[in-house]
Amino acid sequence: MELSSRPRRLRSNPNLRKMVRETRMDKSSLVYPMFVVEGRNIKEEIPSMYGQYRYSVDRMEEKLTELMDAGVTNVMLFGIPAHKDEAGSGAYAQDGIVQQGFRKAKEVCPQMYLIGDVCMCEYTSHGHCGVLRGQDVDNDQTLKLLAKTALSQVQAGADMVAPSDMMDGRVGAIRRMLDENHYENIPIMAYSVKFASSFYGPFRDAADSAPAFGDRKTYQMDYHNRREAIKEAMLDVAEGADILMVKPAMAYGDLIREVKDQTNLPMASYSVSGEYAMVKTTAAAGFIDEKRIMCEMAVSAYRAGTDIYITYFAKELAKCMEEGKIG
Ligand code: PBG
């Protein structure tokens, strides 16, 4: 048979397959999200996320060392305070839980790059991502608190801040606050394209941050929208974001690609708690191969344009990259 092109020819040998591979990745691009909780000597499993734990500050070192040993050099910290209030004051307290976490992480693992998730929902009694006026989040009042939160995290040792609240103007407000305090070299990774998604369910268990009423649809994006994703990304670029993020990752590859092609900033994507929980539970039931699914999901995110991949599987992926299973 005369065929002008035989795509199978380039798949005929494993070395050749690797040579022609289009998506290359490296464990230096992985970020591990980690939960820090108040109390002592705590390492408690998150029920909806098998294999993921909340750590008290005094137990952080073992996890950070384990990550470092695996070649994961970047973590994003989330704080879970013992007390929540209307104004989410724990988010910007100098000795708040996440601030303590940053100080400890810097002390015990100075080579680790530390990113702060900047939001109010883990700290507010009502679980919304800002302060309320009536039944809705007051955008402009919240901006002041977010800027304070970012500053307090940086003062405690965060190397980068990542606002995830979805208020309008937060990147600019945080940039101004950091600059005024001579932190002009601290980058902002903006959760620019963040959808009102059911994929965050297990995280809200982990952080006890589900909204007490209503939902997040007045601030997080409607997942029917693609052009609006570009609008959000462009606004964050204009306000001074250094890195853009699309979240969740798995069901949003189209937008990772779209934002990547239309901007010139590094692209992050966040493979969120629901993605993790789906893989873990389905694998535990014996229906899928956990490791292979995890690899395939990661490669698809990178193939879509991800430069920085935030994932609860960071350590396991680093191992697969090391072994040459992917990358
Ligand atoms: C805080 C925040 C959330 C996540 C990251 N930052 C929860 C939310 O927006 O409800 C979700 C992460 C995950 O699901 O893994 N706003």
Atom 14 of ligand 1, residue of closest alpha carbon: 200
Supply the pLDDT for residue 129.
Answer: 97
DSSP 195: B
Q: Is the pTM of this model over 0.95?
A: yes
Ligand 1 centre from 200 Cα, in Å? 6
Torsion angle (degrees, nearest 10) of CA 226, 249, 156, 105: -170
132-159 tens-digit pLDDT: 999 999 999 999 999 999 999 999 999 9
228-266 tens-digit pLDDT: 999 999 999 999 999 999 999 999 999 999 999 999 999
Task: Give the catalytic positions in this structure.
Answer: 194, 247
98-108 tens-digit pLDDT: 999 999 999 99
Percentage with pLDDT > 70 across the chain: 100
Residue 112: band (very low, low, confident or very high) from pLDDT cuts 50, 70, 90? very high
Distances (CA, A) of 139 to 34, 43, 303: 27, 35, 35
Atom 8 of ligand 1, residue of closest alpha carbon: 200
**Whether the predicted pLDDT of 208 surpasses 90:** no
Residue 203: band (very low, low, confident or very high) from pLDDT cuts 50, 70, 90? very high
Supply the pLDDT for residue 107.
Answer: 98
Q: Which atom of ligand 1 is nearest to the CA of 194?
A: 9
- CA gap 222, 228 in Å, rounded: 9
276-302 tens-digit pLDDT: 999 999 999 999 999 999 999 999 999
173-183 tens-digit pLDDT: 999 999 999 99
Ligand 1 centre from 294 Cα, in Å? 20
Is residue 12 exposed (0-12), middle (13-18) or buried (19+ Cβ within 10 Å)? Answer: exposed
Ligand 1 centre from 235 Cα, in Å? 21
- CA gap 298, 294 in Å, rounded: 6
115-124 tens-digit pLDDT: 999 999 999 9
Supply the pLDDT for residue 181.
Answer: 98
Amino acid symbol at 240: G
Distances (CA, A) of 155 to 36, 92, 241: 18, 11, 19
Atom 2 of ligand 1, residue of closest alpha carbon: 164
> What is the number of other CB atoms lying within 10 angstroms of the CB of residue 26?
11
Atom 5 of ligand 1, residue of closest alpha carbon: 164
Alpha-helical segments (H) within the chain:
14-19, 60-70, 97-108, 139-156, 170-180, 201-207, 227-239, 253-262, 273-284, 290-304, 314-322
**Whether the predicted pLDDT of 53 surpasses 90:** yes
Percentage with pLDDT > 90 across the chain: 98
3-state secondary structure of 78: strand
Amino acid symbol at 152: S
Supply the pLDDT for residue 234.
Answer: 98
Supply the pLDDT for residue 122.
Answer: 97
Write out residues with Cβ below 6 Å of ligand 1: 117, 119, 121, 129, 164, 200, 203-204, 272-273
Residue 327: band (very low, low, confident or very high) from pLDDT cuts 50, 70, 90? confident
Ligand 1 centre from 230 Cα, in Å? 21
> What is the number of other CB atoms lying within 10 angstroms of the CB of residue 129?
24
